[in-house]
Amino acid sequence: MNITFIGAGQVGGALAQRLAEAGHHVVLAENKEGSATLAAALQRSSRLTSAPIEEAVRDAELVFLATPFGATTSVLGPLADALAGKILVDCTNPVGPGLSHGLKSERSGSEALQALAPKAKVVKAFTIYGFENLERPEFPAANVKPAMFFCGDDAAAKARVAPLITDCGFEPLDVGGLVQALHLEHMTLLWVRMVRVNGRSPRLTWAALTG
Ligand SMILES: NC(=O)c1ccc[n+]([C@@H]2O[C@H](COP(=O)([O-])OP(=O)(O)OC[C@H]3O[C@@H](n4cnc5c(N)ncnc54)[C@H](OP(=O)(O)O)[C@@H]3O)[C@@H](O)[C@H]2O)c1
């Protein structure tokens, strides 16, 4: 699949590497001249290339957004038309003061993002863990894979994203429509507080077990 990443830092760089090594054609959008982040991400795999952002989005079937949530408006505003009809994988998390929800839990970041790019098919995924698990999702001692909860309103878009989640080493778990994104964002805050504040291992993951 032709995939573009906007944002190639801890999250974007790790996922772009995984997907490129799984055989996808992955392009990193260029954000600014001399970006150290972009240069470091390109070093992760010889299969990765970069292109100016408009070109990278135009040529993609599916676009990952992995930028700070605060940059969403400035990033997506100029791209709203270019994103029409494309799948937009929202990897962002709105985080407010004291690890509160960045939009005061009034609506999810994903729904805010959908409003900025109304013709894109937004799927929220890859947000419920820290980057450490995105870099290394393998748990050889376990007989289950870590679950990756994801949601979105477009069933066909989710069907395209699920195999990418598998390619990245996770068990995809579709939790429903974009209305569920707010709950995923709270789940992220739960993980972040447990790990970054309370000292649990950053290798903490969730598993989906059914009887
Ligand atoms: N870190 C985690 O453990 C984690 C886990 C799950 C989800 N998330 C979420 O994922 C998102 C990215 O987090 P991260 O840790 O990967 O951040 P990061 O390492 O700081 O990387 C941010 C990336 O966004 C780019 N960027 C920043 N402003 C931009 C703009 N205005 N236009 C285009 N690109 C821009 C940066 O490029 P330059 O360096 O060139 O500016 C960089 O490639 C955040 O929303 C975060 O909440 C983070």
Q: Domain spans of the chain? A: 2-197
Q: Are 204 and 128 in contact (CB under 8 A)?
A: no
pLDDT, mean of residues 65-84:
97
CA of 179 to the centre of ligand 1 (A): 24
Q: Whose CA is nearest to atom 8 of ligand 1?
A: 92
pLDDT, mean of residues 4-21:
98
C-beta 10 within 6 A of ligand 1: yes
pLDDT of residue 173: 98
C-beta 135 within 6 A of ligand 1: no
Output the DSSP codes for 101-131: ETTTTSS-HHHHHHHHSTTSEEEE-S-SS-H
CA of 141 to the centre of ligand 1 (A): 31
C-beta 50 within 6 A of ligand 1: no
pLDDT, mean of residues 142-153:
96
pLDDT(211) > 90: no
CA of 34 to the centre of ligand 1 (A): 16
CATH code, residues 2-197:
3.40.50.720
Q: Which residues contact 17 (CB under 8 A, 6 or more apart)?
A: 41, 44, 45, 48
Looking at every residue in the chain, the average pLDDT score rounds to 97
When computed from its CA atoms, the radius of gyration of the chain, rounded to whole angstroms, is 16
The pLDDT tens digits for 16-49 are 999 999 999 999 999 999 999 999 999 999 999 9
The pLDDT tens digits for 101-144 are 999 999 999 999 999 999 999 999 999 999 999 999 999 999 89
Distances (CA, A) of 3 to 57, 62, 78: 9, 5, 19
Task: Flag the least confident range among 25-29, 31-35, 165-169, 179-183.
Answer: 31-35
DSSP state for residue 99 in the 8-state scheme: G
pLDDT of residue 127: 98
Q: What whole-number distance in Å separates Cα of residue 39 and Cα of residue 130?
A: 22
pLDDT, mean of residues 8-23:
98
Q: What whole-number distance in Å separates Cα of residue 76 and Cα of residue 110?
A: 12
- Which of 26, 27, 31 is the pocket-test mutation for ligand 1 (most atoms within 8 Å of CB)? 31
CA of 68 to the centre of ligand 1 (A): 5
